[in-house]
Structure 1
Amino acid sequence: MFRIPKHILVPMIVACALFMENMDSTVIATSLPTIARDLHEDPIALKLALTSYLLSLAVFIPISGWMADRFGSRTVFRSAICVFMAGSILCALSGSLVGFVAARFVQGMGGAMMVPVGRLVVLRSTTKAEMVRALSYLTIPALIGPVIGPPLGGFISTYFHWRWIFFINIPISIIGLVMAGRHIENLRDEFVQPLDWSGFLLSALGLSALMLGLATAGRHLVSLPVALAGIVAGVLLVSAYVWTARSKLHPLLNLGLLQIPTFRIGVVAGFFFRIGIGAIPFLLPLFLQLGFGLSSFESGLLTCASAVGALFMKTMAARILQRFGFRRVLIWNTVVAAASLMLIGVFTSHTPHALITVVLLIGGCFRSLQFTSLNALAYADIERPQMSQATSLASVVQQLAAGMGVTVGAFALQGSGFLQGHASVVAADFPPAFIVIALVSLSSLIWLRTLVRNAGAAISGHGRPLEE
């Protein structure tokens, strides 16, 4: 009987779970207007469903590694699948905005554990000789999920019912549970550092209050005074975490890493660039559906072009960085990527779909190059013992930026409509919103311009001859 080698089987099991998580995070975007109609809510209010998911990732990612070390990677990985599946079921059964937002938060808890713990499972289950091939399997869901997600979500919402978007996770989850139970070892560390519980509580409560306060400040879900109180409480709690973390030997998030110039610039500049880009999954489907009257499926077919462009750029990013270096690529590419965001606002209902597809595909290429470059720059001068802490901090910032992007995009859209005197969202509200998010991404130049010319040269290979 044919047996799949373990160094291939384990990454494939993890990749299936990661594919489900990656696809689910994009599949909902094209279905937001449909879900809003069914729940009798303003489509802009559904920003909370995206924000709560991303917030949950930011809150629970930092403790995922500790949990795997403490309770075993297989136990935590299977538990994460169960939580994700439970969140999916709750999403499918939700009948109100409050219930849907809460269900997405639960789903994010599972996703926060699946991604880093799944990667840890692969790293601990393969030899160094097999590691490159094993890790290559994990890139598949990250690249393919965003391509399949938008049209799949649009197809289900248009021709079936949006609730099936979440029900399809159930059989995949069950298969993952069975396969993980049979083929993944329950590896754990013998000596586990104590978890910074006070830091976790301060950061979790602070980030939750701050992000949800900002997201609900548009008078969705709670009143404005309650939202403002959440923002103030969030700022105070996050400030308290920053103050107390400085004196801890093993803080939840090691903010001292920000003293490393390349890491600081990669993370901070990446935060502002990702805010602008993070608004796209929210604004673009609304623009195409509410502004142009396209169906969810038609919208999904167009929006996936950005993911196709990102997939294409992955094959070229390394050579571009080697040829031009981090500083030049990041500065010029920021300008081009921001311009591509403004260009989306020029679309009208008469713009040929072929032209929209080309613009989104090319824009996806430049945004992918920026993400790849920022990620690589952040780790350019990080020593191996610091890699885990750096990954946790960078991951939290990335999820917060994506959540902030949705919030900023929603505020820009609402502000545009208010200034133009529109009672409901119309196509004319979107161009100013895209200009706003493009300017936010462009503001990352403030930090990128401080890069030294040879920054990250050791990993980009800039200055060395190109390989034939």
Structure 2
Amino acid sequence: MSKEIKIALLMAASFFMEILDGTIVITALPKMAQYFHTGSSTIALLVSVYLITVAIFIPLSGWMANRFGKKKIWIIAVIIFTFSSLSNAFAPTFSFLLLMRIVQGISGALMTPTARLIVLEKTPASKLLKMVSYLIWPALIAPAIAPVIGGFIVTYWSWQWIFLINVPIGLIIVLIGIKLIDTDNVNKTATFDFLGFIELAVSSGIILVGAELATHGKNYWFSALGLIVLGVILGFIVFKHLKKTANPLFSLDALKITSFRICLTSGSVLWICVGALPYILTIFLQTVFHWSAVKAGTYVLFIFIGNVGIKPFTNAIIRKLGYRGALLSSFGMVFITSIALSFIQTNTFPIWIMFLALISGVGRSLALTAYSGLNFSEIDPQDRNSANTLNSVVSTLAQGMGISIITAVVNLLQNFFSITTAYELGFIFLGLLMLFPAIEVLFLPKNIGHATID
């Protein structure tokens, strides 16, 4: 195994720890609410505050990696993430736990983009697809296995283990990283665009706060919509600032390249579905079918099996069909399975539910691998830091809004339909979302991203 692949797998391990932590805590919220004697809406702050903190501080990652060195920033971020996880497990009060989740979010915001940059910044286009295949598996596996692992932990152990499992992972990858990763050059003269950071942080934070507020019921929808609109308006102000300023927080030049731009637009819609489907399926099986968390998580686990099962073949499929053909095929799988899940009943053959989850996982895996390979296919190495930061900001917002959007949609539908019908229409909604990326990708050149395939 080459040193490059070892580093890619190490970075993937840090991805896995961060993504798993961000999703597994959802299953433990009821137990944690009992432990701290708080309501469900209060305990849910542990999820929303973490996501908002990550979104706010991600723009710092590119500048800090450039100013202090990618290796140093990644190691410090992993150490802080690990020890904040330990502090979460032994938090004496809810306020302290919430503070540690903010610290954890800051470290996660620095860790994940820097890890991607360590692997991809200098990788030649011909090897991008191969290296991406090592990086993408945590984003596929972690959200799918989180419900079953979380369900097992809260059923047979205690919620503290939700955070304690990060400690050995973090310590091991730090020790390996210190020896394995080469020290990189730093740019001590890199200027910091403080105004751009503040503008982007406020815009991202307001959008995610609005999305989170929308999940609390119809009494908050008007306020939520106002915040989201305000956040989008501020986003346009940020865009103009980054275009005009002499030393922006990150460059927007990558948006001129179609292959990168398409990964932000249609790719964001896919990220919304990736975050929402395992969640809505888990909640649907527990709320409507009245299954236990462990049983529901076991069925959702088949999304993970589909993710992993297709992984050895994704690169070959992309080389055979091209990026456009692979993406359209994956959209079709996600669309069909999402619609089909809306028709499952308590007497549906279990094997059919498992099969639909499996094929959905296959489609997700193929699409995310294709987008990740296409992302930097035409970006020059010297421009990848800025492109990586921009991609991280957009994908984080999309992932953070996935669960909020589907929750708000289901809550809205419950005003007109039964809870069962509301969830069924929720699955259909996720399926219909695939029409946008399908139409966008359909008009791409057949040979787009050919440099990473040839």
By the TM > 0.5 criterion, same fold? yes
1:456 matched to which residue of 2? 449
Decide which moves more: 71-80 or 364-373: 71-80
Q: Which amino acid aligns with 2:151?
A: G
Partner of 2:440: 447
Q: 326, 331, 341: which is aligned to 1:329?
A: 326
Which residue of 2 is the match for residue 412 of structure 1? Answer: 409
Cα distance in structure 1, aligned partners of 2:193 and 2:292: 48
In structure 2, the partner of 1:67 is: 64
C-alpha distance 201-167 of structure 1, shift in aligned 2 (>3 A): same
On the 8 A contact 2:69/2:183 being kept in 1, the answer is yes
Aligned-partner residue type, residue 390 of structure 2: L
* Residue matched to 2:20: 23
- Pairwise CA distance, 1:189: 0.9
Answer whether contact 2:121 2:385 (CA < 8 A) is retained: no
Do residues 430 (structure 1) and 423 (structure 2) align? yes
Distance 1:206 1:441 in 2: 26
Report deviation, 1:56.
3.2
Distance change >3 Å, CA 437–CA 132, structure 1 → 2 = closer
Amino acid at match of 2:345: T
C-alpha separation between the residues in 1 aligned to 2:120 and 2:324? Answer: 32
What is aligned with 1:375?
372
**Could you tell me which residue of structure 2 aligns to residue 363 of structure 1?**
360
Aligned partners of 1:47 and 1:282 also within 8 Å: no
Deviations 1:92-122 (Å, cap 9, x if unpaired)?
43866x8766654432221222223345556
> Structure 1 length normalisation: TM-score?
0.82
Letter in 1 for 2:310: M
Deviation at 1:301, TM superposition (A): 2.0
Instruction: State which of 235, 240, 260 in structure 1 corresponds to 2:232.
Output: 235
Give me the whole-angstrom Cα distance separating, in 2, the residues matched to 1:8 and 1:315: 15
Structure 1 residues 266 and 341, CA, compared in 2 at 3 Å: closer, same or farther? Answer: same
2:105 corresponds to 1:84 = no
Superposed CA offset, 1:18-58 (max 9, x none): 44223323423444555566665458x87765444344333
Residue 274 (structure 2) aligns with: 277
Residues 1:280 and 1:51: Cα distance change in structure 2 (over 3 Å): farther
Residue pairs, 1:297-336, within 5 angstroms: 297-336=294-333
The residue matched to 2:244 in structure 1 has which SS?
A: coil
What secondary structure does 1:162 align onto? coil
What is aligned with 1:466? none
Distance apart, 1:180 and its partner CA: 5.2
Structure 2 contact 5–131 (Cα < 8 Å) conserved: yes
1:449: how far off?
2.7
**Displacement after TM superposition at 1:340 (Å):** 1.1
Q: Give 3-state SS (helix, strand or coil) of 1:380's partner.
A: coil
Matched with 1:384 is 381
Flag the 1:71–1:151 CA change in 2: closer, same or farther, 3 A: same
Question: Which residues in structure 2 correspond to 1:102-121 (within 5 Å)?
Answer: 103-120=100-117
- CA distance in 1 between counterparts of 2:327 and 2:235 reads 30
Distance 1:459 1:74, change over 3 A: closer
Aligned-pair distance for 1:411? 0.8
- Equivalent residues of 1:68, 1:188 under 8 A apart: no
Q: How many angstroms apart in 1 are the aligned matches of 2:445 and 2:179?
A: 50
Matching residue's letter, 1:53? Y
Are residues 52 and 408 of structure 1, via their aligned partners in 2, closer, same or farther at CA, if it must alter by over 3 Å?
same
* Corresponding residue SS for 2:211: helix
**AA paired with 1:451?**
L
SS of match in other structure, 1:276: helix
- How far has the Cα of 1:261 moved from its partner? 1.9
Task: Report how many residues are paired.
Answer: 449
CA RMSD of aligned residues (A): 3.7
Which 5+ residue runs of structure 2 have no aligned equivalent? none
**Counterparts of 2:233 and 2:403, CA distance in 1:** 23
Which one is further off, 442-451 or 397-406? 442-451
Matched position secondary structure for 2:414: helix
5+ residue gaps in structure 1?
Answer: 462-468
Three-state SS of the structure 1 residue aligned to 2:415 is: helix
User: Retained in 2: the 8 A contact 1:29–1:285?
Assistant: no
